Structure 1
Amino acid sequence: MKGAGQKRTRITKDERARRDVFKVREQSVRSYFSNLNKHVGDLRNKETDFYGIDRELKFFQDNIIFEYEKTKGLRHPRDLGNARENILKDFIKASGLFPPKYSISERSSRVAATSGHISNEMDIVFYDYLDRYVLMQRNSAYDVYSAECVYGVVQVKSKLTSKELVSAINNIKSYKKLKRVSNSAFFIGNGDSSINGFGVIFAYESGMDWHEIVDLLQAEVLKNKPSELPNAIFILNQGYFIFGTETEYLSLNSDRMVNAKDVIVHGFPDRDENSLSHFYEIIIRLLNNTLKISTDILKYRSLPLTAGDYSYRFSSGVLNELARCELHGEYHRLFKESALECILLYCVSKEKINLIKLLDLGLGRAGDNEDAYNRQPIDVVVYNPENLLPTEIMFMDPQPFEFEGKTFTAPPCAYYRIICSNMDIVIPFYYIVKENMLHSCPKCKK
């Protein structure tokens, strides 16, 4: 099966037969190991009170399934979704198997980064209990956490369909694209330590068979960057899936997924009715492997503007952020993602020039006032793909203005200056208009 909006791959008769054989075999294997584990467990119960947390996790799994079945009487979709999220949350909070430093969100939550980007709504957010910042709260119903204090997220689904799986992958992607920014260039950790947070999908059941899920996940591998894929997908009554290569599983370390090549899907069918144990193992490993990063809260005071994956600020701040429509008044002046991509591609290899020198050249001066340039060492890159002269693009025709009762004449600036990808960029109005770089009025589209 392919992603949402794509046609279902036709399954041949031989392939269908092979999948049916796989399904029957897996059911037999699962029944055998489930009975064997129960028999061994009964014997060990007679010998000792405690012989490992797998038995406890099996009790928790049985209770989770029981509570899940009880929710099937709910009719309102929102109530149903909340109830099933809470089943998993209750396990995490009450099982005693998660250290208190790993707290989870109590309500609807999103995660924000210093880049100005924010995730979609997350069902469960794991955050650091002692070093957390709730950046925004609304009526005890909605929270926004800083990316640095969040270890990872979980999306909870009831019955996983192809549509729900793609939706969950996209939600996880919105979180995993966020950057956790550290105050320090040094980290102390082992070889499994990861700066990037994790994302996991948990479903109680699925209407798809095993091979359909594999096909869909492999299609998602082709559509997404490895770093933005979920670390794992769990289906309580079927098993779990992780991503890796032919020689390595990548899911236990989000950093290893960043530059991964030739990613494939690895599937692990549930053969002993103990899926929750595998879920717990991977979640606790991800939590322990994800580095704790302290939030620099001051970086969240005023976030930059965003355009797709890019972040930018107007150098003049709010003075440049407002545009005006003759019909509908003021609106936010925003660059298009495609425009920023084009600007950055051009500017990354261009030489910098002192801003004061650039202005002097724009005014037709010699550009040799080195003392002034040294006093104001502001270096910029000019977006100028047509190599026009500064006198042609830096200023408009002189306009009169009044100051303290006197009239003066000066040429208005004909450019915007933005900070983007660690570059200070001057973008002349000439190119902004010619290349249609800005979004228009959202009401009239003019």
Structure 2
Amino acid sequence: MTRRAKNTNDDFETREERLRESLKEQTERSIALRSKDREFHGLEREFRYHQEQMIVDFSKSKDIKHPRDVGNVREKILRNFLTTSGFLPKRYTVSSSSIRVASPTGHLSNEIDIALYDAEDSLSLMNREDIFEVLPIESVYGVIQVKSRLNREEIRNGLANLASFKRLDRQIGDQGGNILGAPKERRGFGILFAYDSDLKWQEIYQEIESFAQLHPQTEWANAICILNRGWFVHGSSTMSSALNSHIEAIEELQIHGMPDRQGTALYAFYDVLLTLLRSTTIYPAEWRQYYRLPLTAGKYSYSYYMMHFSEMGRCEKHGDYARKIEPEKLEKVINWCQTTTPINWIKAHNIAYNQPEDEAAYARQPMDVHIYNPDNLPLSEILVQDDTLDGQQIKSLAYDWIISDNMNIWIPYHYTISELIVSICPQCLVGIMKKAGRDAQPKKVRIRRKSITGNTQTVKKEASPKKASTKT
């Protein structure tokens, strides 16, 4: 920041403090006069009482030294307000502890401080002594990440945790209407809540904007509230909103900040929270989809058609290992398969085994598959391999079958091995790379894996002094 910009920022903070004190004093006098005439004259006074008490409780928590205990207490302050004030309708349940949220895609959120969900129609997918709990994304309206005193790192961490929840895919059900008559939001919401911040107003603004520039709009926080400072939302030059549909429609981002000049930050938080709750669609969780979650590779998920058989590899030296696909490898396979025309899976087998056409069989088994074959090799060369069964020479199937991006994908062992699409034994791989770095001459390494018939497939791979290259 230049000296001139810093001076301007400091001047703003000074003017803002004077204005805040002046307006706060006038508001308190006005409320005192109204209180003489009526016992209840609106939520304004009630929320000010709660806000002042929460700030007092926050100050008391400073006596606690252990960071984990401090965090638990400050989560509890906000949780108590939500559960005991009476302002939150009973249909919205507040989690009693930190939780994680799961999606049928297999992805899991980071640890979330507070979740608001439908307890009547939700499931607890995993619960360990009320300390670690996993909820299904379909029944969670949204989440709140609680911070004590925001600095730059806490802003980034808090927004990242909210993003881990907001990127989860949920079921799509019937579209209803919200309190404004607009279509209901299908994505859950995330709010960053803090009690204080040592940062200047402009510095908070810059951190929120920097995070937004590095992440898609679907992962932006719906609101950022600092109890004794004010709140922020995303918008453009003509609008600002906490609703996902509005945030995702922003073309030129402009952060909107509203300083708290009259002790209204808690009510603003509540107003946004209740609007988001009533504007968000939830669905009954489909328990069958959570029975066996797919594997994940970055933003993608995938399942082996043969399930346990294909997920697990067996190394004769090191034992069992997980056969994983790295995100960049899976993305490459998906992108290539999206450009190809699928083929009936029975027909693909007939071609591989040099069998005649059988249209009746194709009609009985209409499932199509995408075959990863960037080199356009004959199917008879890459879908089957020479094998033995009970002492007999046979042709066995030679591909991995995965389900990803709504496609049935066959990855021939030829490419599994030559491009290392599916991982081999990690301990063997480390050894291969070390030897490749030490040896001046390439050495052949034998890697054994089971074929679909249950027999063992032996593959020769060459390791050069620079890196391990693989050849069938």
After TM superposition, the score normalised by the length of structure 2 is: 0.88
The 5-angstrom pairing of residues 309-348 of structure 1 reads: 309-348=299-338
Query: Which residues in structure 2 correspond to 1:255-404 (within 5 Å)?
Result: 255-366=245-356, 368-397=357-386, 399-402=387-390
1:321–1:262 distance in 2 versus 1, CA, 3 Å: same
RMSD (Å) for aligned C-alpha atoms: 1.5
Greater RCO (Cα-Cα under 8 Å, separation 6 or more):
1
Structure 2 residue 411 is matched with structure 1 residue 423: no
Partner of 1:202: 193
Residue identity opposite 1:38 in structure 2:
E
* Offset of residue 228 of structure 1: 0.1
Paired residue type of 2:10: D
Contact 1:227 1:259 (C-alpha < 8 Å) held by counterparts? no
Whole-angstrom CA distance in 2 between matches of 1:338 and 1:111: 25
Give the superposition deviation at 1:255: 3.0
Residue in 1 that maps onto 2:218? 227
Write the letter of the residue equivalent to 1:401. L
The answer on 1:72 being equivalent to 2:72 is no
- 1:151 is the counterpart of 2:135: no
Pair 281,188 (structure 1): closer, same or farther in 2 beyond 3 Å: closer
Q: Secondary structure at the match of 2:224?
A: strand
- Contact preservation (8 Å) 2:166, 2:188: yes
**Runs of 5+ unmatched residues, structure 2:** 431-472
Tell me, yes or no, if the aligned pair for 1:313 and 1:419 is still in contact at 8 Å: yes
Amino acid at match of 2:379: P
Q: Which residue of 2 aligns with 1:437?
A: 421
Partner of 1:4: none
Could you tell me which residue of structure 2 aligns to residue 8 of structure 1?
none
| Aligned match of 2:235 | 244
In the alignment, is residue 85 of structure 1 matched against residue 71 of structure 2?
A: no
Q: Is the CA contact (8 Å cut-off) linking 2:177 and 2:183 kept in structure 1?
A: no
Shift of 1:122: 0.4
Farther off after superposition, 374-383 or 96-105: 374-383
1:16 to 2, 6, 19: 6
Letter in 2 for 1:64: M
> What's the offset of the Cα at 1:264?
2.2
Aligned to 1:107: 97
Aligned residue identity for 2:361: A
Query: In the alignment, what sits opposite 2:455?
Result: none
Out of 20-29 and 289-298, give the one that drifted further.
289-298
Q: Indicate conservation of the 8 Å contact 2:342/2:369, yes or no.
A: yes
Distance in 1 separating the partners of 2:175 and 2:228: 42
1:126-141 map, 5 Å? 126-141=116-131
In structure 2, C-alpha distance between the alignment counterparts of 1:68 and 1:356, rounded to whole Å: 66
Residue pair 1:108, 1:142 contacting (<8 A) in 2 also: yes
Letter in 2 for 1:25: R
1:43 aligns with 2:27: no
Q: How many equivalent pairs are there?
A: 428
Contact 2:176–2:183 (8 Å) recurs in 1 = no
Letter in 2 for 1:70: K
TM-score under structure 1 normalisation?
Answer: 0.93
Deviation at 1:241, TM superposition (A): 0.8
Aligned to 1:6: none
Counting aligned pairs with the same residue, the percent is 36
Deviations 1:70-97 (A, max 9, x none): 1111111111110111010001001000
For residues 135-191 of structure 1, what are the alpha-carbon distances to aligned partners after superposition, in whole Å with 9 as ceiling and x for unaligned? Answer: 100122111001011000000001111111101111001000011103x34435431
Partner of 2:439: none
For 1:409, the equivalent position in structure 2 comes to 393
Counterpart of 2:380 in structure 1: which amino acid?
Answer: T
Partner letter of residue 375 of structure 1? R
Q: Alpha carbons of 1:69 and 1:443: their partners in 2 closer, same or farther (altered >3 Å)? A: farther
Aligned to 2:151: 161
Q: How does 1:169-180 map to 2 (within 5 A)?
A: 169-180=159-170
The 1:314/1:12 distance shift into structure 2, 3 A limit, reads same
1:216/1:440 Cα in 2 relative to 1: closer, same or farther (>3 Å)? farther
Query: Contact conserved, 2:176 with 2:184, CA < 8 A, in 1?
Result: no
